[in-house]
Amino acid sequence: MAKFQDIARFYQRYWRISVFSIAMMSAFEIIDLFGPYAIGQILNVLSKQPLDQPMQQIITGVANVTGQPQGQMLSLVVLLAMVCIVSVGRAPIQPWLGPWFNWDTAFRARRDHAQKALEKVLTLPLEFYDENNPGRIAARVAKGISNHTWTYPEITGQLLPKVARIVGIFIVIWLIDWRIAIVLLLSFIGILSFSLSGLTKLTKQEEKLDRYIEDTESRNSEIITNIKTVKAFATEAQELTRQRQRFEREFKVVDYRIHKGYVMLGMYERTIVQSCVFLVLVFTLMAAVRGEISLGHFVTTLTVSSMAYAEVEPISQLAEVFARRYASMIRFHEFMQLPAGKDAGSLVRDKDAEPYQFTGKVEFSHLTFGYAPDRPVLKDINLLIEPYQTVALVGRSGSGKSTLVKLLFRYFEPNSGSILMDGHDLRRLDVSSYRKRLAIVHQEVDIFNGTLLDNLVYGNPDASFEQVREACRIAQADEFIRNMPLGYSTIVGERGVRLSGGQRQRVGIARALIMEPDVLIFDEATSSLDYESERSIQLAMRAILGTRTLIIIAHRLSTVREADKIVVLENGHIVEVGNHDELLNSEGIYRRLHSLQETGELLA
C-alpha cells in the first residue's frame, strides 16, 4: 500500500539541492517583509517618532563612517538604500536560486522515474498483462509521473516558502506586540486545521474519481485497439451509451461532490480569514490608541498581517491542487510497488557473460502446472525431446499446448516437476541468457515501427546482412521484401507499409532464424492464411526441419506429418506419442482428429 512518504521519496535523490532551494526561497519570502517594516520606520521618521533601536544603530554607524550629520534626511536615505538592496538587488539572483533548482529537480526526478517505470513494465509478470490492458497501465504511469513533475515546484517553490513567510510575519508581529501575534497564531491554527479536515474528505472523493477515470480510459483504449470489431459488429452506439454513462458518473462525482466541496471550503476559509483580518485591525487600532505601539508599528502590523492572511488563499489553492493529484500519485506508487515477476529477465546486458549454447535436448519431467494452483492445466507431463528433433504438439483447443511452451520460456514456474534443457533445470539458468537460445514465431507476429531490417534483427542486432538475407530466403521472405519500395529499408509498422498476415508470419520466421536459436517454436497459425501463404510457410518450416530442435504447436494436422514425434494433449495430459503413421494405426484421438480434418468435419 503506497503512502504519502512514497511521494516525498520520489525526489529523495535530490534532497540536498531541495533543502538548499527551499531555504533560499523561504529566505527571500522573509526578506520581502523588510519592505513593510521599512515603510513603518519611514512613517516614524516623518512623524518624528523614535526608530527601532537596531535601525537607529545602523543609521548612527552610517553617520560615523560618512561623517554626515544624523537627521531626518540621512535616516530616509539609509532606509531607502536598504529597501533598494533587498528588492532590486536580489531580483537577478532569485530566479537562479529558486525556480531554476525547483524545475531542474522536478525534471531530473521525472527522467529517473520514467526509466524506473519502464523497468517495472519490463519486469512485471506476464499475468499482470493478462489482467490489465495497456491503456490502463500507460495512463496510470503517465499521469503519475506528470503529476509528480508539476507538484514539486509548487510545493518547494511556493507552498513551503509561503509557510516560512507566515512564520516570519508571526515573529515580526510578536516583536511588536505579542498579544496581536497570539491572535494571529490562533486564527491560523483554526484556518489550517479546518482546511486540512476538508481536504482529507475531498481526497477520498478524488480517489474514487481516479478509479472511475481509469475505467473509462481503459475502455476507450480498448475501443481504439479493437475498433475493427466494434465497427464490424456495429456496436458504436452501444459503446457510446456505455461510455456516456461512465462520463455521467464521473461528472456527478467531480461536479457535485469534489468541485462543490472545494467551493464550500473556499467560502468558509474566506469568511474566516476576513473576520480575522477585521479582528486584527480592531486589536491593533486599540493598541495604537492606547499608545502601546507607534504609528509606524501600527502600519507595519496591519500590512504584514494582511500579507499573512493573503497567503491563506494561495496556500489552500496549492493544497487543493495537491489533493487533486494525490490519488493518481499514490496509484503510480502502488504500480511501482508491484512485485517483479519471477520470470523477469535481466535489465542490464552483461557483455562479458559467456552466452549459453545448448544441443536442444528438452525434457519435461513430472511437470504439473496451473494458473491457479488448485486448477492444474498441465498434469504430470513427461516428455523427452532429443536434439534436432521436430516435435508437434496437437490436441483440442484449451488442452494446454501454449501453456507448455510458456513454461519452456519460463514465463511461469511449474507447480511441481521440472523442465531440463541439456540436463540443466531451467530454474538454475540465467533467464535472459537462456531465452536468447530460444525463439518463437507467434500466431500474431508483432511488428515494431521501423524498417524491415530493424524488425528482422530485433533479437540479434549483431547479425550480418548476409545472415539476414539467408534467413529471409529460408523463411520465403526475401522475395517479397526485395519487391517493397525500399527493400529491406522499407518502413513498416505504425507509420509505414502494412504487411499482410502471411508476410508478417514470414518476417516472424526470419526474425526467429536470425537469432540462431537452439530451440525454435512455431505457434503455428497458418489456418488464417490463404493457400499460397500457407504453402510458403510450410516450405519455410520444411527447410528448417533437422537444423535445430523444433517444436510446433499444430492447429492443422497437415503440417505435422513430417514431425519425428507427435504429442497429443488432452485435458492437460499427454495421451498419445508417436509419429504420424504410428498414431494413425493406433485408433486414438490423433486418428480421430485426423479423419475429422480429412473429411472437413468440425471437431467435436
Ligand X SMILES: Nc1ncnc2c1ncn2[C@@H]1O[C@H](COP(=O)(O)OP(=O)(O)OP(=O)(O)O)[C@@H](O)[C@H]1O
Interacting residues with ligand X (CB under 6 A): 130, 371, 377, 395, 397-403
Strand (E) positions, 298-413? 362-369, 378-385, 390-395
CB of 400 to ligand X, least distance (A): 4
CB of 395 to ligand X, least distance (A): 6
* Minimum CB distance to ligand X smaller for 120 or for 406: 406
Residue among 477, 481, 466, 366 at smallest CA distance from 415? 366
Q: How many CB atoms lie within 10 A of CB 436?
A: 18
Beta-carbon contacts of 187 under 8 Å, excluding residues fewer than 6 positions away, are 272, 276, 279
* Minimum CB distance to ligand X smaller for 35 or for 588: 588
* Minimum CB distance to ligand X smaller for 113 or for 136: 136
* Minimum CB distance to ligand X smaller for 397 or for 599: 397
CB of 218 to ligand X, least distance (A): 18
How far is the CA of 265 from the CAs of 269, 277, 279, in angstroms? 6, 18, 21
Query: What is the C-alpha separation between 141 and 547, in angstroms, rounded?
Result: 44
What does the DSSP 8-state code read for residue 495?
Answer: T
CB of 602 to ligand X, least distance (A): 15
* Minimum CB distance to ligand X smaller for 488 or for 522: 522
CB of 396 to ligand X, least distance (A): 7
Cα 103 from chain centre: 20
* Minimum CB distance to ligand X smaller for 151 or for 403: 403
Residue with grid cell 482529507, as numbered in its chain: 200
* Minimum CB distance to ligand X smaller for 21 or for 403: 403
CB of 131 to ligand X, least distance (A): 9
The C-alpha cell at 103 is 524545475
Contacts 24+ apart (CB under 8 A), 5-14: 6/330, 6/333, 6/337, 7/148, 7/151, 7/326, 7/329, 7/330, 7/333, 10/109, 10/113, 10/148, 10/329, 11/105, 11/106, 11/109, 11/152, 13/108, 13/109, 13/112, 14/105, 14/108, 14/109
Contacts 24+ apart (CB under 8 A), 113-119: 113/10, 113/145, 113/148, 114/145, 116/336, 117/141, 117/144, 117/145, 117/332, 117/335, 117/336, 119/347
* Minimum CB distance to ligand X smaller for 53 or for 397: 397
* Minimum CB distance to ligand X smaller for 261 or for 400: 400
Contact 537, 526 (CB under 8 A): yes
Indicate the pairing of strand 416-421 with strand 565-570: unpaired
CB of 325 to ligand X, least distance (A): 34
3-state helix, strand, coil in the chain (%, to 5): 65, 10, 25
Query: What is the C-alpha separation between 297 and 75, in angstroms, rounded?
Result: 17
CB of 557 to ligand X, least distance (A): 13
CB of 399 to ligand X, least distance (A): 4
CB of 188 to ligand X, least distance (A): 56
Phi, psi of 521 (to 5 degrees): -120, 135
Residue among 222, 314, 350 at smallest CA distance from 29? 314
Query: What is the C-alpha separation between 568 and 557, in angstroms, rounded?
Result: 11
What does the DSSP 8-state code read for residue 487?
Answer: G
Chain length of the chain: 604
How far is the CA of 446 from the CAs of 98, 227, 483, 501, 508, in angstroms? 47, 18, 21, 11, 8
CB of 217 to ligand X, least distance (A): 23
CB of 373 to ligand X, least distance (A): 12
Query: What is the C-alpha separation between 593 and 604, in angstroms, rounded?
Result: 9
* Minimum CB distance to ligand X smaller for 78 or for 525: 525
CB of 500 to ligand X, least distance (A): 22
Residue 588: exposure state from Cβ atoms within 10 A (0-12, 13-18, ≥19): middle
CB of 444 to ligand X, least distance (A): 12
Query: What is the C-alpha separation between 42 and 2, in angstroms, rounded?
Result: 54
Helix pair 312-336, 134-154: axis angle to 10 deg: 140
Indicate the SS3 state at residue 440. Answer: strand
* Minimum CB distance to ligand X smaller for 127 or for 425: 127
* Minimum CB distance to ligand X smaller for 51 or for 381: 381
* Minimum CB distance to ligand X smaller for 219 or for 556: 556
* Minimum CB distance to ligand X smaller for 150 or for 371: 371
